[in-house]
Structure 1
């Protein structure tokens, strides 16, 4: 007969029962969300126009490109990866798509070119960081520089592609996508919602999503569990690159203009959105839904600063401060849960 199993009560090293979670713990879990609400309220008090429905509708459209870029980045960062090339990818994708339109190749060809750029960059990053083991920060930074150089070459040192001054029969579908609505909803907003829904489903309801969680828990443990770690990690870069290409198309459609460097501000904004979303999440982990919240808040903050008459230095400074704050809160939360 086997020996009886002794079950110890849960708790600390002394075996004392664990104390139930207090209300203070619940408040701490949502401290970042409360902080976001406080900031929004303060801006609304200072500038009531901030909460005008028309302004909020404009903010929702402005957030679409950032949401798409940040959601792609969040999948990668959920596996402790990163991609510094998303802005350069979006720039090149949008520019080449605009040039294809103006050269008369049609909307379908232009869209395919933009998505192909994103896919190619994602595959390159996936091979370098996922299969060859090059550190992601090195691989994506190097590719970022290459893409920036390519963008300057193909644009003849920054010559813009202006869709809004071109013959309407060449660019109408793209401009309609960027400015028209379906019922009360802008097409750009609907496209962003579809992207978020698809990525959320893929990361939470599929085998691929479970593999991402295993890789996040630890590459060695994931390998022992039979997870194809390299392929899963590489797939995050592919998705990130593909959504960066889509974001570039959306930015070109929204502005009616393609200029090298126009997507660069989204790089810092995307990282801020992911970090804020992870800090705001009760689990303290990167997820698609909470990243969307972070992206919306970053866009609201940028809009509020404009209404308050504060320029780009304030925006960059606050975004940097928010990233540092999110990292600090994440470290404190991990220490508190040990």
Structure 2
């Protein structure tokens, strides 16, 4: 047999790249934000142990995180179903103005004013859902338009902050400490997060929400009423925004137009930070809580070290880009490793 007729030897299979590298990258993509949070806590604990590690400061961090966590958890629902809600900050501000106006101007009792405020927020959420699902307006356009309209309506209702005629018991809602010495907003935050987590992960409607967000057409073909699911998500976001606005007005002791507008960016930053936590690019309540804590700990640490207030938006935007960017890169390299 000549050399020309000898069969060519098969190429030896290339050795697979080390599995430890792939494991490390996957771990970074899933736990990078948690690691970042722990490193922040460690850094502030070492450099300001007497202040940062105190019980009072710990409660302060939780109090700062509570309202953001509530409004961000509602936003999480709309993102789970694949939609955006840019009205949540406006809804919180508007409802905060209305709830105080109902008490100061209309003479409503506290409980009725709060019920009306929460119903109003839920109704605005339903309206957003109807515009998106039935009228087929893009969610970004419709929710931004509704939010802008609320600003004008609120200004028409009261061009000035409502600070008189508000019962002292209303301010006690946010300033009181009923359970274990914890601020009431923290207790409300825990209850809301547990409820929303349970609905999203342990109920039929929660499974349908995740199915709609994963593949809307497949969900529709499987018999899921996609429009109803999306409307429910928007209504939940509206309810959480209304609750945030009510608690903020209670904390401030007044109803002020645009007081809660800043929560919009905070909520989005927290939710997208959370999407880089534990799961690869999925929105979920646990991740949202981690994102909120990252922001709260960062803001608290900056305050302790006397950083100017304009550092807060720089930190907020920078940590969002860094965390999500590192997570995306880690997933990409893990997939190719």
TM-score using structure 2 length: 0.87
Question: What is the alpha-carbon root mean square deviation over aligned residues?
Answer: 2.2
8 Å Cα contact 1:118/1:242 also seen in 2: yes
The 10-residue stretch of structure 1 (324-333 or 214-223) with the greater mean CA deviation from structure 2: 324-333
Matches within 5 A, 1:1-338: 23-25=23-25, 27-28=27-28, 29-48=30-49, 49-103=51-105, 104-156=107-159, 159-162=160-163, 166=165, 171-184=167-180, 185-335=182-332, 336-337=334-335
Q: CA deviation at 1:40?
A: 2.6
Corresponding residue pairs, total: 317
8 Å Cα contact 1:131/1:231 also seen in 2: no
- Give the distance between the partners of 1:25 and 1:330, measured in 2 at CA: 9
For residues 26-51 of structure 1, the C-alpha deviation after alignment (integer angstroms, 9 at most, x for no partner) is: 53131221122222322333333122
For residues 295-337 of structure 1, the C-alpha deviation after alignment (integer angstroms, 9 at most, x for no partner) is: 1221221122122222332111121122323442453355344
Q: Secondary structure at the match of 1:312?
A: coil
Q: CA deviation at 1:160?
A: 1.3
- Give the distance between the partners of 2:328 and 2:43, measured in 1 at CA: 28
Q: CA deviation at 1:19?
A: 8.3
For residues 156-185 of structure 1, the C-alpha deviation after alignment (integer angstroms, 9 at most, x for no partner) is: 1xx11226xx4xxx5133122111112422
1:8 maps to what in 2?
Answer: none
Divergent runs of 4+, >6 A: 16-21
Q: Secondary structure at the match of 1:249?
A: helix
- Give the distance between the partners of 1:145 and 1:85, measured in 2 at CA: 8
Q: CA deviation at 1:257?
A: 2.2
Q: Secondary structure at the match of 1:134?
A: coil
TM-score using structure 1 length: 0.87
Higher RCO structure (Cα 8 Å, ≥6 apart): 2
- Give the distance between the partners of 2:103 and 2:335, measured in 1 at CA: 54
Q: Secondary structure at the match of 1:258?
A: coil
- Give the distance between the partners of 1:330 and 1:23, measured in 2 at CA: 14
For residues 246-269 of structure 1, the C-alpha deviation after alignment (integer angstroms, 9 at most, x for no partner) is: 111111112212211111121111
The gaps in structure 1 that reach 5 residues or longer are: 1-13
- Give the distance between the partners of 2:97 and 2:116, measured in 1 at CA: 10
